[in-house]
Amino acid sequence: MKAHIVTLPGDGVGPEVVAAAVAALKTVAARYEHVFTFDEQLIGGAAIDATGQPLPAATLAACQHADAVLLGAVGGPKWSDPNAPVRPEQGLLALRAALGVYANLRPLQVHPALAELSPLKNEKLGNVDVLFVRELTGGAYFGTKTRTADAATDECRYTEAEIERVVRRAFELARGRRRHLTSVDKANVLETSRLWRSTVQRIAADYPTVKVEHQLVDSMAMLLLTQPGRYDVVVTENLFGDILTDEAAAIAGSLGLLPSASLGEGKAGLFEPIHGSAPDIAGQGVANPVGTILSAAMLLRHSLGLESEAVAIEHAVDHVLRHGPRSRDIGGSAGTREVCEAVLAAIEDHADHHAAFFHGSRACG
């Protein structure tokens, strides 16, 4: 098949890890006889420096016409002034809203070879397989904001329609997994959470084979650490999802391991690792590319419908995590390029023997 992919390297380690993911996608394209074209655009701090805007019009237009978008990270100390009128994160929020990618999927699994890196005891990790579904285009991040000399407000607003579409996506995903949906809110305090809970209860009638439970966000934060193996699909609003998924990443042993997919009504989506720009290691060639490479696998699965190719990348990453080399954040000493090259070799080993042999350069950045 043919597909056009926009890449947004962004800031910090973003260019390094995106280069690794693009190399993985090029390897897959060659071995499975696809044609992927890539268009690199600016976002975040790099875009502010070049154009004065965190999401230039050219970037947005390119993303709106792409089959999928692959993002690195945005932000860093250079642009961290809280009083600055333009910030890198504004570009990412604006892009999510413009693309209508309201459902952010963040899978959590603990790799057996890395269980010792988790802060939890190993006996709690054996059955951890959670898919977080975070509402991504509403809530406090997008509500009206005010600021005076001595006060500030952030409006958290949700409509029933906004809640329903992401909750139905979560129910559909749960029905295809272990049929257990946990909805996280703060319905004992917040009116938006009361609307959230009543909407979930109403929609649950359409999915009688899915078991539904409700958890308050503060108790859920505790339960993720004490009973992570009991959860299947977890759906929640924007702010709660942002916090809980970072907590969940610590369970896996490193922020550098986990991918995400942001999806809307169509096939096109936005794919990115859950980690930030890591400015402390930017430019050193030591960033872990696994989260971004696995995001490329999610891109293949969700936007391009290429399940076998997605599995090839996932199996390759599994092989490298088991046998090495490993990056510094997970106990190894390998750099970004070395890990990338190992994943590419494993992709080729996994690929079907009848696929076209890869002759091109395997540049990992």
Q: Which of 158, 186, 207, 231 is catalytic?
A: 186
* Residue 186 annotated as catalytic: yes
Q: Which of 67, 185, 242, 329 is catalytic?
A: 242
Measured distance CA(18)–CA(336) in Å, rounded: 11
Name the helix (H) or strand (E) containing 272.
strand 269-273
Strand partners, 338: none
| Residue in the structure block whose two tokens are 């009973």 | 227
* Residue 102 annotated as catalytic: no
* Residue 11 annotated as catalytic: no
Measured distance CA(343)–CA(341) in Å, rounded: 5
Smallest CA-to-CA distance from 92 within 298, 288, 289, 242 is with 242
Sequence-separated (6 or more) residues with CB below 8 Å from residue 258: 106, 107, 108, 245, 248, 249, 252, 273, 274, 275, 291, 294
Q: How many CB atoms lie within 10 A of CB 268?
A: 23
Three-state SS at 21: helix
Which DSSP letter does residue 189 get?
Answer: T
Alpha carbon of residue 338 to chain centroid: 23
Which DSSP letter does residue 327 get?
Answer: B
Handedness of CA 183, 187, 191, 194 (dihedral sign): positive
CA separation, residue 95 to residues 60, 61, 69, 169, 231 (Å): 7, 10, 10, 21, 30
* Residue 218 annotated as catalytic: yes
Measured distance CA(30)–CA(297) in Å, rounded: 15
Smallest CA-to-CA distance from 99 within 63, 72, 73 is with 63
Maximal C-alpha separation, the chain: 67
Q: Which of 102, 141, 207, 231 is catalytic?
A: 141
Q: Which of 129, 154, 246, 318 is catalytic?
A: 246
Contact 141, 238 (CB under 8 A): yes
Exposed e or buried b per residue across 164-201, where buried means at least 16 C-beta atoms within 10 angstroms of its C-beta? ebbbbbbbebbeeeeeebbbbbbbeebebbebbbebbe
Smallest CA-to-CA distance from 292 within 1, 23, 30 is with 23
Lookup: tokens for 262? 């942001």
* Residue 211 annotated as catalytic: no
Q: Which of 218, 280, 349, 352 is catalytic?
A: 218
Active site residues: 141, 186, 218, 242, 246
